[in-house]
Structure 1
Amino acid sequence: MSSSGGKIPRVLIVLIGLLVCSNLGTALVAFLVIDRLDERYSTEFNKAVPGLHELMLLAQESTNTHRAAGNLLLARDVSESKLMWTRLEEVRQKELDRLTEVFSKGPVSAGDPMAPLWSASHTYNQSLAEYLELVRNGNRDVALAYRLDKLRPSFDLYQQRQREESIRLNFEAMQSNREISAQAKERQSLLLGFGGWPFLVLIAMLAIFAVLGFVLWKQLRSIENSEGTLRTDRSF
Protein backbone atom coordinates (compact mmCIF):
# COMPACT_ATOMS: atom_id res chain seq x y z
CA MET A 1 0.00 0.00 0.00
CA SER A 2 2.88 2.38 0.73
CA SER A 3 4.37 1.87 -2.74
CA SER A 4 1.05 2.67 -4.39
CA GLY A 5 0.75 5.78 -2.24
CA GLY A 6 4.17 6.87 -3.50
CA LYS A 7 3.31 6.38 -7.18
CA ILE A 8 0.21 8.55 -7.25
CA PRO A 9 1.96 11.83 -6.32
CA ARG A 10 4.64 11.16 -8.95
CA VAL A 11 1.96 10.65 -11.59
CA LEU A 12 0.28 13.87 -10.56
CA ILE A 13 3.60 15.73 -10.74
CA VAL A 14 4.17 14.37 -14.25
CA LEU A 15 0.66 15.39 -15.23
CA ILE A 16 1.16 18.91 -13.86
CA GLY A 17 4.42 19.11 -15.79
CA LEU A 18 2.60 18.08 -18.95
CA LEU A 19 -0.03 20.73 -18.33
CA VAL A 20 2.60 23.44 -17.89
CA CYS A 21 4.55 22.35 -20.97
CA SER A 22 1.34 22.11 -22.98
CA ASN A 23 0.26 25.61 -21.99
CA LEU A 24 3.68 27.02 -22.79
CA GLY A 25 3.70 25.21 -26.12
CA THR A 26 0.19 26.42 -26.90
CA ALA A 27 1.17 29.99 -26.08
CA LEU A 28 4.24 29.75 -28.33
CA VAL A 29 2.30 28.23 -31.22
CA ALA A 30 -0.48 30.81 -30.77
CA PHE A 31 2.07 33.63 -30.87
CA LEU A 32 3.64 32.26 -34.06
CA VAL A 33 0.25 31.72 -35.72
CA ILE A 34 -1.05 35.17 -34.78
CA ASP A 35 2.21 36.76 -35.91
CA ARG A 36 1.96 34.95 -39.25
CA LEU A 37 -1.68 35.96 -39.73
CA ASP A 38 -0.85 39.55 -38.81
CA GLU A 39 2.01 39.57 -41.31
CA ARG A 40 -0.19 38.20 -44.07
CA TYR A 41 -3.02 40.60 -43.26
CA SER A 42 -0.58 43.52 -43.29
CA THR A 43 0.72 42.38 -46.68
CA GLU A 44 -2.76 42.16 -48.17
CA PHE A 45 -3.72 45.46 -46.57
CA ASN A 46 -0.61 47.19 -47.89
CA LYS A 47 -1.34 45.89 -51.38
CA ALA A 48 -5.01 46.82 -51.47
CA VAL A 49 -5.32 50.06 -49.53
CA PRO A 50 -2.50 52.02 -51.20
CA GLY A 51 -3.83 50.86 -54.58
CA LEU A 52 -7.29 52.17 -53.74
CA HIS A 53 -5.80 55.39 -52.43
CA GLU A 54 -3.75 55.92 -55.59
CA LEU A 55 -6.81 55.30 -57.76
CA MET A 56 -8.83 57.85 -55.82
CA LEU A 57 -6.09 60.43 -56.31
CA LEU A 58 -5.81 59.49 -59.98
CA ALA A 59 -9.55 60.04 -60.46
CA GLN A 60 -9.30 63.50 -58.91
CA GLU A 61 -6.19 64.50 -60.86
CA SER A 62 -7.51 63.21 -64.18
CA THR A 63 -10.67 65.26 -63.59
CA ASN A 64 -8.52 68.33 -62.91
CA THR A 65 -6.59 67.71 -66.13
CA HIS A 66 -9.73 67.31 -68.21
CA ARG A 67 -11.29 70.44 -66.71
CA ALA A 68 -8.11 72.49 -67.25
CA ALA A 69 -7.90 71.31 -70.86
CA GLY A 70 -11.49 72.38 -71.49
CA ASN A 71 -10.84 75.80 -69.94
CA LEU A 72 -8.26 76.56 -72.64
CA LEU A 73 -11.11 77.35 -75.02
CA LEU A 74 -12.44 79.96 -72.58
CA ALA A 75 -9.32 82.15 -72.51
CA ARG A 76 -10.16 85.76 -73.36
CA ASP A 77 -6.64 86.98 -74.08
CA VAL A 78 -3.04 85.84 -74.40
CA SER A 79 -2.12 86.36 -70.74
CA GLU A 80 -5.13 84.38 -69.54
CA SER A 81 -4.31 81.66 -72.05
CA LYS A 82 -0.76 81.42 -70.68
CA LEU A 83 -2.06 81.06 -67.14
CA MET A 84 -4.43 78.30 -68.24
CA TRP A 85 -1.65 76.48 -70.07
CA THR A 86 0.55 76.70 -66.99
CA ARG A 87 -2.26 75.34 -64.84
CA LEU A 88 -2.85 72.51 -67.32
CA GLU A 89 0.82 71.53 -67.35
CA GLU A 90 0.87 71.38 -63.55
CA VAL A 91 -2.20 69.20 -63.13
CA ARG A 92 -1.30 67.00 -66.08
CA GLN A 93 2.15 66.31 -64.66
CA LYS A 94 0.54 65.29 -61.37
CA GLU A 95 -1.74 62.92 -63.24
CA LEU A 96 1.15 61.39 -65.19
CA ASP A 97 3.13 60.94 -61.97
CA ARG A 98 0.11 59.27 -60.38
CA LEU A 99 -0.23 56.94 -63.37
CA THR A 100 3.40 55.96 -62.88
CA GLU A 101 2.65 55.06 -59.26
CA VAL A 102 -0.50 53.12 -60.17
CA PHE A 103 1.39 51.17 -62.83
CA SER A 104 4.56 50.92 -60.79
CA LYS A 105 5.38 47.55 -62.36
CA GLY A 106 5.44 49.06 -65.83
CA PRO A 107 3.18 48.44 -68.85
CA VAL A 108 0.69 45.66 -68.29
CA SER A 109 0.36 42.60 -70.49
CA ALA A 110 -2.72 41.06 -72.05
CA GLY A 111 -4.90 39.34 -69.47
CA ASP A 112 -3.66 41.53 -66.63
CA PRO A 113 -6.56 42.79 -64.45
CA MET A 114 -5.28 46.34 -64.89
CA ALA A 115 -5.08 46.10 -68.69
CA PRO A 116 -8.45 47.88 -69.28
CA LEU A 117 -7.36 50.85 -67.15
CA TRP A 118 -3.99 50.98 -68.89
CA SER A 119 -5.65 50.94 -72.31
CA ALA A 120 -8.19 53.61 -71.34
CA SER A 121 -5.49 55.91 -69.93
CA HIS A 122 -3.40 55.48 -73.10
CA THR A 123 -6.40 56.26 -75.34
CA TYR A 124 -7.33 59.32 -73.31
CA ASN A 125 -3.80 60.72 -73.32
CA GLN A 126 -3.60 60.28 -77.08
CA SER A 127 -6.91 62.10 -77.51
CA LEU A 128 -5.78 64.82 -75.12
CA ALA A 129 -2.52 65.32 -77.03
CA GLU A 130 -4.43 65.69 -80.32
CA TYR A 131 -6.88 68.11 -78.72
CA LEU A 132 -4.08 70.25 -77.28
CA GLU A 133 -2.38 70.36 -80.67
CA LEU A 134 -5.57 71.74 -82.22
CA VAL A 135 -5.78 74.41 -79.50
CA ARG A 136 -2.13 75.41 -80.01
CA ASN A 137 -2.71 75.82 -83.73
CA GLY A 138 -5.67 78.13 -83.07
CA ASN A 139 -8.30 75.74 -84.47
CA ARG A 140 -10.78 76.55 -81.72
CA ASP A 141 -13.91 75.38 -83.54
CA VAL A 142 -12.29 72.12 -84.58
CA ALA A 143 -10.88 71.69 -81.07
CA LEU A 144 -14.31 72.25 -79.53
CA ALA A 145 -15.89 69.65 -81.81
CA TYR A 146 -13.03 67.22 -81.11
CA ARG A 147 -13.44 67.75 -77.38
CA LEU A 148 -17.13 66.83 -77.53
CA ASP A 149 -16.86 63.98 -80.03
CA LYS A 150 -13.59 62.31 -79.09
CA LEU A 151 -11.99 63.66 -75.92
CA ARG A 152 -15.06 63.54 -73.68
CA PRO A 153 -16.03 59.93 -74.54
CA SER A 154 -12.45 58.75 -73.99
CA PHE A 155 -12.41 60.56 -70.64
CA ASP A 156 -15.71 58.94 -69.62
CA LEU A 157 -14.27 55.52 -70.45
CA TYR A 158 -11.11 56.40 -68.53
CA GLN A 159 -13.11 57.22 -65.41
CA GLN A 160 -15.25 54.11 -65.80
CA ARG A 161 -12.12 51.93 -65.85
CA GLN A 162 -10.88 53.70 -62.73
CA ARG A 163 -14.12 52.86 -60.91
CA GLU A 164 -13.98 49.25 -62.09
CA GLU A 165 -10.41 48.89 -60.88
CA SER A 166 -11.35 50.38 -57.50
CA ILE A 167 -14.21 47.88 -57.18
CA ARG A 168 -11.88 45.02 -58.11
CA LEU A 169 -9.26 46.00 -55.54
CA ASN A 170 -11.91 46.47 -52.87
CA PHE A 171 -13.42 43.05 -53.65
CA GLU A 172 -10.00 41.39 -53.48
CA ALA A 173 -9.30 43.07 -50.15
CA MET A 174 -12.63 41.88 -48.71
CA GLN A 175 -12.10 38.36 -50.07
CA SER A 176 -8.61 38.20 -48.55
CA ASN A 177 -10.04 39.43 -45.25
CA ARG A 178 -12.68 36.67 -45.27
CA GLU A 179 -10.06 34.02 -46.06
CA ILE A 180 -7.75 35.21 -43.31
CA SER A 181 -10.65 35.33 -40.82
CA ALA A 182 -11.66 31.77 -41.74
CA GLN A 183 -8.08 30.57 -41.30
CA ALA A 184 -7.86 32.36 -37.96
CA LYS A 185 -11.01 30.61 -36.70
CA GLU A 186 -9.78 27.23 -37.92
CA ARG A 187 -6.40 27.64 -36.27
CA GLN A 188 -8.07 28.92 -33.13
CA SER A 189 -10.03 25.67 -32.89
CA LEU A 190 -6.84 23.65 -33.40
CA LEU A 191 -5.06 25.64 -30.72
CA LEU A 192 -7.91 25.14 -28.27
CA GLY A 193 -7.85 21.41 -28.97
CA PHE A 194 -4.08 21.30 -28.59
CA GLY A 195 -4.18 23.22 -25.34
CA GLY A 196 -7.03 21.19 -23.87
CA TRP A 197 -5.68 17.66 -24.32
CA PRO A 198 -3.97 17.52 -20.88
CA PHE A 199 -7.29 18.25 -19.22
CA LEU A 200 -8.80 15.31 -21.08
CA VAL A 201 -5.90 13.18 -19.85
CA LEU A 202 -6.53 14.43 -16.31
CA ILE A 203 -10.20 13.49 -16.51
CA ALA A 204 -9.29 10.07 -17.92
CA MET A 205 -6.77 9.47 -15.14
CA LEU A 206 -9.26 10.53 -12.48
CA ALA A 207 -11.75 8.10 -13.97
CA ILE A 208 -9.11 5.34 -13.93
CA PHE A 209 -8.21 6.15 -10.33
CA ALA A 210 -11.89 6.04 -9.42
CA VAL A 211 -12.29 2.62 -11.06
CA LEU A 212 -9.12 1.31 -9.41
CA GLY A 213 -10.24 2.72 -6.06
CA PHE A 214 -13.60 1.03 -6.44
CA VAL A 215 -11.96 -2.28 -7.37
CA LEU A 216 -9.54 -1.95 -4.45
CA TRP A 217 -12.41 -1.16 -2.10
CA LYS A 218 -14.29 -4.23 -3.33
CA GLN A 219 -11.22 -6.39 -2.75
CA LEU A 220 -10.73 -4.98 0.73
CA ARG A 221 -14.37 -5.62 1.53
CA SER A 222 -14.02 -9.15 0.22
CA ILE A 223 -10.92 -9.70 2.35
CA GLU A 224 -12.66 -8.29 5.42
CA ASN A 225 -15.66 -10.55 4.83
CA SER A 226 -13.37 -13.55 4.43
CA GLU A 227 -11.51 -12.71 7.64
CA GLY A 228 -14.83 -12.25 9.44
CA THR A 229 -15.98 -15.68 8.25
CA LEU A 230 -12.72 -17.26 9.43
CA ARG A 231 -13.04 -15.66 12.86
CA THR A 232 -16.60 -16.94 13.12
CA ASP A 233 -15.52 -20.45 12.19
CA ARG A 234 -12.68 -20.38 14.73
CA SER A 235 -15.00 -19.21 17.48
CA PHE A 236 -16.99 -22.34 17.02
Structure 2
Amino acid sequence: MKFGRLRFVIILALLASNLLVGVLSLYFLRSMEERYTVLFDRSVPLINNLRTLTRELGSVQRLARRISDPQNETDWPALLPQMEQGSRNAKQHVTEISSMELIKDDKHVATMLETGRIYDSRVLEFLALARAKRISEANQHNIDVLRPTYDLYMDSLDNVANYVEREGNDLRARYAQESRWFSGLLLAVAGWPLLAVIVLMIVMGVLVIGLLAAVFFPRLFTAKTVPV
Protein backbone atom coordinates (compact mmCIF):
# COMPACT_ATOMS: atom_id res chain seq x y z
CA MET A 1 0.00 0.00 0.00
CA LYS A 2 2.78 2.36 0.93
CA PHE A 3 4.69 1.50 -2.25
CA GLY A 4 1.64 2.25 -4.38
CA ARG A 5 1.23 5.63 -2.71
CA LEU A 6 4.93 6.40 -3.21
CA ARG A 7 4.68 5.45 -6.85
CA PHE A 8 1.68 7.78 -7.24
CA VAL A 9 3.63 10.65 -5.65
CA ILE A 10 6.60 10.02 -7.95
CA ILE A 11 4.36 10.03 -11.02
CA LEU A 12 2.79 13.33 -9.93
CA ALA A 13 6.24 14.82 -9.36
CA LEU A 14 7.36 13.74 -12.83
CA LEU A 15 4.27 15.26 -14.42
CA ALA A 16 4.73 18.49 -12.47
CA SER A 17 8.40 18.75 -13.43
CA ASN A 18 7.64 18.13 -17.10
CA LEU A 19 4.91 20.77 -17.02
CA LEU A 20 7.28 23.21 -15.33
CA VAL A 21 9.97 22.60 -17.95
CA GLY A 22 7.46 23.18 -20.74
CA VAL A 23 6.12 26.41 -19.23
CA LEU A 24 9.61 27.77 -18.53
CA SER A 25 10.79 26.87 -22.03
CA LEU A 26 7.81 28.61 -23.64
CA TYR A 27 8.31 31.70 -21.49
CA PHE A 28 12.02 31.89 -22.25
CA LEU A 29 11.55 31.39 -25.99
CA ARG A 30 8.95 34.15 -26.14
CA SER A 31 11.18 36.42 -24.09
CA MET A 32 14.17 35.83 -26.38
CA GLU A 33 12.02 36.35 -29.46
CA GLU A 34 10.82 39.69 -28.13
CA ARG A 35 14.36 40.74 -27.25
CA TYR A 36 15.75 39.91 -30.67
CA THR A 37 12.79 41.65 -32.30
CA VAL A 38 13.53 44.80 -30.32
CA LEU A 39 17.22 44.52 -31.19
CA PHE A 40 16.38 44.14 -34.88
CA ASP A 41 13.87 47.00 -34.86
CA ARG A 42 16.37 49.33 -33.18
CA SER A 43 19.58 48.40 -35.00
CA VAL A 44 18.67 47.64 -38.61
CA PRO A 45 16.70 50.84 -39.39
CA LEU A 46 19.47 52.88 -37.78
CA ILE A 47 22.16 51.20 -39.90
CA ASN A 48 20.05 51.75 -43.03
CA ASN A 49 19.59 55.42 -42.16
CA LEU A 50 23.31 55.86 -41.65
CA ARG A 51 23.96 54.30 -45.04
CA THR A 52 21.40 56.59 -46.64
CA LEU A 53 22.94 59.64 -44.98
CA THR A 54 26.40 58.59 -46.15
CA ARG A 55 25.09 58.25 -49.70
CA GLU A 56 23.42 61.67 -49.57
CA LEU A 57 26.55 63.38 -48.28
CA GLY A 58 28.65 61.65 -50.93
CA SER A 59 26.26 62.98 -53.58
CA VAL A 60 26.57 66.52 -52.17
CA GLN A 61 30.34 66.30 -52.27
CA ARG A 62 30.37 64.99 -55.84
CA LEU A 63 28.12 67.86 -56.90
CA ALA A 64 30.55 70.31 -55.27
CA ARG A 65 33.38 68.84 -57.34
CA ARG A 66 31.33 69.10 -60.53
CA ILE A 67 30.21 72.66 -59.82
CA SER A 68 33.75 73.83 -59.10
CA ASP A 69 34.85 72.56 -62.52
CA PRO A 70 34.66 75.45 -65.04
CA GLN A 71 33.91 73.00 -67.84
CA ASN A 72 30.51 72.30 -66.27
CA GLU A 73 29.40 75.93 -66.41
CA THR A 74 26.42 75.12 -68.61
CA ASP A 75 25.17 72.65 -65.99
CA TRP A 76 25.39 75.03 -63.03
CA PRO A 77 21.71 76.10 -63.13
CA ALA A 78 20.71 72.46 -62.54
CA LEU A 79 23.57 71.40 -60.29
CA LEU A 80 23.27 74.18 -57.73
CA PRO A 81 19.65 73.37 -56.73
CA GLN A 82 20.53 69.66 -56.60
CA MET A 83 23.39 70.30 -54.21
CA GLU A 84 21.27 72.59 -52.05
CA GLN A 85 18.43 70.05 -51.90
CA GLY A 86 20.84 67.21 -51.16
CA SER A 87 22.36 69.18 -48.29
CA ARG A 88 18.89 69.95 -46.95
CA ASN A 89 17.90 66.28 -47.10
CA ALA A 90 21.08 65.20 -45.31
CA LYS A 91 20.54 67.80 -42.60
CA GLN A 92 17.01 66.57 -41.98
CA HIS A 93 18.15 62.97 -42.04
CA VAL A 94 20.90 63.42 -39.47
CA THR A 95 18.41 65.09 -37.13
CA GLU A 96 16.14 62.05 -37.39
CA ILE A 97 19.05 59.68 -36.77
CA SER A 98 20.18 61.56 -33.67
CA SER A 99 16.74 61.13 -32.07
CA MET A 100 16.63 57.35 -32.50
CA GLU A 101 16.41 55.44 -29.23
CA LEU A 102 19.57 53.37 -29.51
CA ILE A 103 22.03 56.26 -29.88
CA LYS A 104 20.31 59.46 -28.80
CA ASP A 105 22.33 59.68 -25.56
CA ASP A 106 25.68 58.54 -26.98
CA LYS A 107 28.62 60.94 -27.06
CA HIS A 108 29.35 60.09 -30.71
CA VAL A 109 25.96 61.53 -31.69
CA ALA A 110 26.89 64.92 -30.27
CA THR A 111 30.08 64.87 -32.33
CA MET A 112 28.13 63.87 -35.43
CA LEU A 113 25.65 66.73 -34.96
CA GLU A 114 28.39 69.30 -34.39
CA THR A 115 30.42 68.14 -37.38
CA GLY A 116 27.26 68.08 -39.50
CA ARG A 117 26.42 71.62 -38.48
CA ILE A 118 29.89 72.80 -39.52
CA TYR A 119 29.68 70.92 -42.81
CA ASP A 120 26.27 72.44 -43.62
CA SER A 121 27.66 75.92 -43.05
CA ARG A 122 30.60 75.14 -45.33
CA VAL A 123 28.19 73.95 -48.01
CA LEU A 124 26.28 77.22 -47.79
CA GLU A 125 29.54 79.15 -48.16
CA PHE A 126 30.42 77.07 -51.23
CA LEU A 127 27.00 77.66 -52.80
CA ALA A 128 27.27 81.40 -52.20
CA LEU A 129 30.61 81.49 -54.03
CA ALA A 130 29.24 79.36 -56.87
CA ARG A 131 26.14 81.53 -57.33
CA ALA A 132 28.38 84.56 -57.48
CA LYS A 133 30.33 82.75 -60.24
CA ARG A 134 33.51 82.95 -58.21
CA ILE A 135 34.41 79.49 -59.41
CA SER A 136 38.12 79.57 -58.66
CA GLU A 137 37.37 80.60 -55.07
CA ALA A 138 34.64 77.94 -54.85
CA ASN A 139 37.08 75.33 -56.08
CA GLN A 140 39.69 76.40 -53.54
CA HIS A 141 37.03 76.42 -50.81
CA ASN A 142 36.06 72.88 -51.78
CA ILE A 143 39.67 71.68 -51.61
CA ASP A 144 40.80 73.51 -48.47
CA VAL A 145 37.63 73.62 -46.36
CA LEU A 146 34.67 71.62 -47.62
CA ARG A 147 36.42 68.35 -48.39
CA PRO A 148 38.33 68.12 -45.04
CA THR A 149 35.10 68.89 -43.17
CA TYR A 150 33.37 66.18 -45.18
CA ASP A 151 36.08 63.68 -44.17
CA LEU A 152 35.59 64.58 -40.50
CA TYR A 153 31.85 64.17 -40.95
CA MET A 154 32.36 60.70 -42.41
CA ASP A 155 34.60 59.76 -39.50
CA SER A 156 31.88 60.77 -37.03
CA LEU A 157 29.33 58.65 -38.92
CA ASP A 158 31.73 55.71 -38.82
CA ASN A 159 32.04 56.12 -35.05
CA VAL A 160 28.27 56.04 -34.67
CA ALA A 161 28.02 52.94 -36.89
CA ASN A 162 30.77 51.22 -34.88
CA TYR A 163 28.96 52.05 -31.66
CA VAL A 164 25.73 50.52 -32.99
CA GLU A 165 27.62 47.41 -34.04
CA ARG A 166 29.28 47.06 -30.61
CA GLU A 167 25.97 47.51 -28.84
CA GLY A 168 24.38 44.82 -31.00
CA ASN A 169 27.26 42.40 -30.40
CA ASP A 170 27.17 43.03 -26.64
CA LEU A 171 23.43 42.38 -26.49
CA ARG A 172 23.75 39.20 -28.55
CA ALA A 173 26.56 37.97 -26.27
CA ARG A 174 24.45 38.69 -23.19
CA TYR A 175 21.45 36.89 -24.68
CA ALA A 176 23.63 33.90 -25.52
CA GLN A 177 24.97 33.78 -21.95
CA GLU A 178 21.45 33.94 -20.52
CA SER A 179 20.40 31.19 -22.91
CA ARG A 180 23.20 28.92 -21.69
CA TRP A 181 22.31 29.61 -18.05
CA PHE A 182 18.65 28.89 -18.66
CA SER A 183 19.46 25.70 -20.56
CA GLY A 184 21.43 24.46 -17.55
CA LEU A 185 18.51 25.29 -15.28
CA LEU A 186 16.09 23.37 -17.49
CA LEU A 187 18.49 20.44 -17.61
CA ALA A 188 18.63 20.39 -13.81
CA VAL A 189 14.84 20.53 -13.50
CA ALA A 190 14.28 17.90 -16.17
CA GLY A 191 16.99 15.60 -14.79
CA TRP A 192 15.92 15.58 -11.14
CA PRO A 193 14.66 11.93 -11.33
CA LEU A 194 18.11 10.79 -12.41
CA LEU A 195 19.73 12.84 -9.64
CA ALA A 196 17.27 11.38 -7.14
CA VAL A 197 18.12 7.83 -8.28
CA ILE A 198 21.86 8.56 -7.99
CA VAL A 199 21.44 9.97 -4.48
CA LEU A 200 19.27 7.02 -3.49
CA MET A 201 21.86 4.57 -4.82
CA ILE A 202 24.61 6.35 -2.90
CA VAL A 203 22.59 6.23 0.32
CA MET A 204 21.75 2.55 -0.21
CA GLY A 205 25.40 1.80 -0.98
CA VAL A 206 26.50 3.47 2.25
CA LEU A 207 23.88 1.52 4.21
CA VAL A 208 24.88 -1.82 2.62
CA ILE A 209 28.56 -1.16 3.27
CA GLY A 210 27.75 -0.26 6.86
CA LEU A 211 25.65 -3.40 7.29
CA LEU A 212 28.39 -5.65 5.85
CA ALA A 213 30.97 -4.00 8.04
CA ALA A 214 28.77 -4.56 11.11
CA VAL A 215 28.39 -8.25 10.21
CA PHE A 216 31.97 -9.10 9.30
CA PHE A 217 33.81 -6.60 11.48
CA PRO A 218 31.68 -6.29 14.62
CA ARG A 219 34.65 -5.09 16.66
CA LEU A 220 34.60 -1.82 14.76
CA PHE A 221 31.20 -1.05 16.22
CA THR A 222 31.86 -2.39 19.74
CA ALA A 223 32.13 0.33 22.32
CA LYS A 224 35.45 0.29 24.10
CA THR A 225 35.20 0.08 27.88
CA VAL A 226 37.49 2.16 29.93
CA PRO A 227 38.93 0.27 32.99
CA VAL A 228 38.12 1.82 36.37
Tell me the TM-score normalised to structure 1 length.
Answer: 0.76
State the distance in 1 between where 2:138 and 2:195 align. 82
Q: Which residue of 1 aligns with 2:153?
A: 158
Alignment check: 8 A CA contact 1:127 1:151 kept? yes
Distance 1:89 1:146, change over 3 A: closer
Query: Which structure's CA Rg is the greater one?
Result: 1
**CA displacement 1:25-68 (0-9 Å, x = unmatched):** 11101111221122122222322222222111111111001111
Distance 1:17 1:56, change over 3 A: same
Aligned residues: 208
Q: Which runs of 5+ in 1 are unaligned?
A: 1-5, 215-236
What is the CA-CA distance between 1:78 and the residue it aligns to?
7.0
What is the CA-CA distance between 1:179 and the residue it aligns to?
1.0
**CA displacement 1:128-148 (0-9 Å, x = unmatched):** 111111111222121111111
Which residue of 166, 169, 172 maps to 2:167?
Answer: 172
Q: Which runs of 5+ in 2 are unaligned?
A: 209-228
Q: Which residue of 2 aligns with 1:15?
A: 10
Relative CO higher for 1 or 2, CA cutoff 8 Å, sep ≥ 6?
A: 1
Q: Which residue of 2 aligns with 1:221?
A: none
State the distance in 2 between where 1:75 and 1:83 align. 14
Distance 1:187 1:111, change over 3 A: closer
Q: Which aligned pairs between 1:36-47 and structure 2 lie closer than 5 A?
A: 36-47=31-42
SS at match of 1:80: helix
Which residue of 95, 117, 127 maps to 1:132?
Answer: 127
Which residue of 22, 32, 57 maps to 2:52?
Answer: 57
State the distance in 2 between where 1:77 and 1:161 align. 31
Q: Which residue of 2 aligns with 1:114?
A: 109
State the distance in 2 between where 1:114 and 1:135 align. 31
Tell me the TM-score normalised to structure 2 length.
Answer: 0.79
State the distance in 1 between where 2:52 and 2:39 align. 20
Q: Which aligned pairs between 1:1-236 and structure 2 lie closer than 5 A?
A: 6-74=1-69, 80-104=75-99, 112-202=107-197, 204=199
Alignment check: 8 A CA contact 2:60 2:86 kept? yes
State the distance in 2 between where 1:87 and 1:49 align. 28
Q: Which residue of 1 aligns with 2:224?
A: none
